[in-house]
Structure 1
Amino acid sequence: MNAVKLVEETRAGLVENVHTGMICGVNERLETIFYAGDPDHYTYYRSAAKPIQALPAFLSNIITKYGLTSEEAALFTASHRGESYHIAALESMLKKLPVREEELFCPCSYPLNAAPREEMLRENKEKRRLYHNCAGKHMGFVTVCRELGYPVEGYWEVGHPLQQQILQILSGLSEIPIAEIKVGKDGCGVPVFAIPLKNMATTYLKLACPDLIKDPILQKAVIQMTGIMNEYPHIIASERFICSVLLQDQNIVAKGGAQGVYCFGLKNERIGFALKVLNGSEDVWPVIVASILEQIGYKNKQTITNLRALKPSVLKNDAGDEVGAVHERFALIAYPENADKQEI
């Protein structure tokens, strides 16, 4: 495993934290054109897989059949953070879809965001499956099972027809045979897949550039899904969180996962990126993605500014005093034979 130093945090000039990892960028010819560290490193998608896992719902007729709004449908792809608008949309979906909350395999939990979690604790509300960040994904799973005649029981097992359908979709989008995809169990209990970072970048290239998808039905579903993600970015995570900030840019399709995994695709530039922070930090994602965009000369400077605002280069303590700094320590390497073909 070849990792490089991505971000370094200092306090009073002394190194306090170092975040190592790897990055890969691919072009529309599926060539690696940018990298830092090992682009072949096998990486679990974690929740970066949610747009792929949501595709069976978008391939079906359930959104129209059950009268879901686009805002509600966005939750199929989301890692919702429990804000009031997330819960309201999920409650509405429960009323419309043929799903009972107790059927969801994701465990009962409190919201990820501190404010709604603390409010629920003050009000002595109990944990619910609906509050789990994967609840929307699981509601999609159960509804698709009923729509396609699959058993609901065991939908979380890798051998279940729904999970096999997702595996087939992933294999096609990533350009990697099913036999080479490694399978584990995700935090919410469903299968999670690991593939080389460059193939992960390829999936997000195709999500951003669906004309690269050969199956016209799948292509149409991807266009609908990513359009909804860009239309309702706050649903995918929440305000002041990297996924929602990036998705405000109509040129970007993006989603992160646990343990430092982040993926995004650029529509006009026709590039897909995937990265892994080896210590699992999500805190430094905005710094890394902003640096990637700067290094490739990305034209929408406002997006970079918005990312920088999430994780400023100056560290301050609780009193607002300047106490340290955040430094990017990587430079993307371009494959010479491929990079000279790419116009950024």
Structure 2
Amino acid sequence: MPTVELIELWRGGMLESVHRGHAVVWDAGGMVAAWGDPDAVIFPRSSCKMIQALPLVESGAADAAGLGTEQLALACASHSGAAIHVTRVQAWLDGLGLAEADLRCGVHMPQDKDEHRRLTCSDTAPCQIHNNCSGKHAGFLTLNRHMRADAEYVLPDHPLQQAVRTAFEEVTDEPSPGYGIDGCSAPNFATSVKGLARAMAAFANPQGGGRGDAMRRLVAAMVAHPELVAGETRACTDLMRAMGGRVAVKTGAEAVFVAIAPDRGIGIALKIADGGTRASEAAITALLIDAGLLDADHPVARRLLTAPLTNWRGLEVAELRTAAGFPA
């Protein structure tokens, strides 16, 4: 089945742009709803960081290192590189007796405006701790030390990444057809949209101890610290705050978005085919509203989906709409 129209942009009474994609809602009983092709294979990118963090918790490495909820939230984060992020990751590495050079995520300027300005105005170069994935990599380093494995923990055949792949395939309940190298240099294992939704439903319906406890702890950490999972003005942070800690959400590059709703027992996964973040944020907002998890009149919902778009003079010039039949 091909992609379907999910989000539209209208200007001057005319349809200007259309974002197509796939979306799946899953619960403990199976697929609740789907648009597009549930079997479409995608790279989940950063939307699956809570899966990548499972071995950290399941192995006992998190407890052995004394990690708290802030560190677990950062392990699932694509943070903005703000002071609240970089200071915590630095302290985490210090506690491990490790340094920035032990990370393998690479360097980029932070998204956070204040930290970006501070670095620019002081003529200071960013470091790997500013990387949006530095929390995930601090988690990898914590697990790697626990495993007593070699330093190149991002290599696909490294025992750590093999542990991640095993967890990934178990919670998606399907073998991964392969991997790509993510922006942070770690392998990103492919799965279907329904596999990703199935995994999110597993986090929403954790069973027993062991992995179930690990899932509960990671979701609880995300919703307890939404500011650490992304950052101020970011969709993940704002949506989790708007839903009062009832739902964990996580974006991924190239317009992937997931949601975990324990009180409803559902997981959601979506992919916008053109990679447009604007559309993935609007689509997840629409699905959360449809599921009764987010008030359509909440300012965050309006900003991401229903409010008119303005130009540089503040004039209302366009609007986003859900396509016919989406959500339903």
TM-score, scaled relative to structure 2:
0.92
Distance in structure 2 (CA, Å) of the matches to 1:321 and 1:332: 28
Query: Of residues 172, 175, 185 in structure 2, which corresponds to 1:174?
Result: 172
What is the match of residue 242 of structure 1?
235
Q: Give the letter for the 2:21 counterpart.
A: G
Tell me the residue number matched to 1:342: none
Whole-Å separation in 2 of the counterparts to 1:114 and 1:329: 34
Structure 1 residue 232: Cα displacement: 0.5
Separation in 1, partners of 2:181, 2:317: 40
User: What is the alpha-carbon distance in structure 1 between the residues aligned to residue 310 and residue 62 of structure 2?
Assistant: 45
Does 2:266 correspond to 1:271?
Answer: yes
Q: Which moved more, 1:247-256 or 1:155-164?
A: 247-256
Matched-pair contact (CA < 8 Å) for 2:9–2:321: yes
Q: How does 1:103-252 map to 2 (within 5 A)?
A: 103-153=102-152, 155-177=153-175, 180-211=176-207, 216-248=209-241, 249=243, 250-252=245-247
The farther-off stretch of 5-14 and 266-275 is 5-14
| Cα deviation digits, residues 9-54 of structure 1 (max 9, x gap) | 122233332211111111211x222111111110111001211111
Question: 2:76 touches 2:229 (CA, 8 Å); kept in 1?
Answer: yes
The CA deviation string for residues 243-278 of structure 1, in whole angstroms up to 9 with x for no partner, is: 112333322122110000011122122121110011
Is it true that 1:315 corresponds to 2:309 in the alignment?
yes
Q: Distance in 1 between matches of 2:288 and 2:297?
A: 9
Give the secondary-structure state (helix, strand or coil) at the position aligned to 1:324.
Answer: strand
Q: Does 1:256 align with 2:251?
A: yes
Structure 1 equivalent of residue 6 of structure 2 = 6
The alignment partner of 1:210 has SS state of coil
TM-superposed deviation, 1:115: 3.8
SS of 1:158 mapped into structure 2:
coil
Q: How many residues align?
A: 326
Name the CA distance, whole Å, in 1 between partners of 2:324 and 2:210. 40
Distance, in Å, in 1 between the alignment partners of 2:45 and 2:213 is 25
Runs of 4+ in 1 over 6 A off after TM superposition: none
Cα distance in 2 for residues equivalent to 1:270 and 1:304: 23
Structure 1 residues 103 and 35, CA gap change in structure 2 (3 angstroms) = same
Question: 1:210: Cα distance to partner?
Answer: 0.8
- One-letter amino acid matched to 1:218: R
Structure 1 match to 2:58: 59
The 2-side partners of 1:327 and 1:255 are apart by: 22
Q: Matched residues in 1 for 2:101 and 2:317: separation?
A: 48
Q: Secondary structure at the match of 1:7?
A: strand
Q: Does 1:327 align with 2:321?
A: yes
Cα 1:286–1:304, aligned 2, differ >3 Å: closer, same or farther? farther
Instruction: In structure 1, list runs of 5 or more residues that go unmatched.
Output: 335-344
Identity percentage over the alignment?
Answer: 29
Instruction: Please give the alpha-carbon distance, in whole angstroms, between the structure 2 residues aligned to 1:37 and 1:22.
Output: 4
> CA 1:306–1:255 in structure 2 vs 1: closer, same or farther (change >3 Å)?
same
Give the whole-Å Cα distance in 1 for the aligned partners of 2:214 and 2:202: 12
Change (3 A) 1:69 1:293: closer
The answer for the alignment partner of 1:292 in structure 2 is: 287
Cα deviation, residue 142, structure 1: 1.6
SS in 2 for 1:284: helix
Aligned mates of 2:235, 2:200 — CA distance in 1? 16
Measured in 1, the distance between the counterparts of 2:220 and 2:16 equals 41
For the residue of structure 2 that corresponds to 1:23, the secondary structure is strand
The alignment yields a C-alpha RMSD, in angstroms, of 2.0
User: Deviation string for 1:149-202 (max 9, x for gaps)?
Assistant: 22122x11111111111111111111113xx43211111111101111111001
SS in 2 for 1:26: strand
Q: Do the aligned residues in 1 keep the contact of 2:6 with 2:326 (CA within 8 Å)? A: no
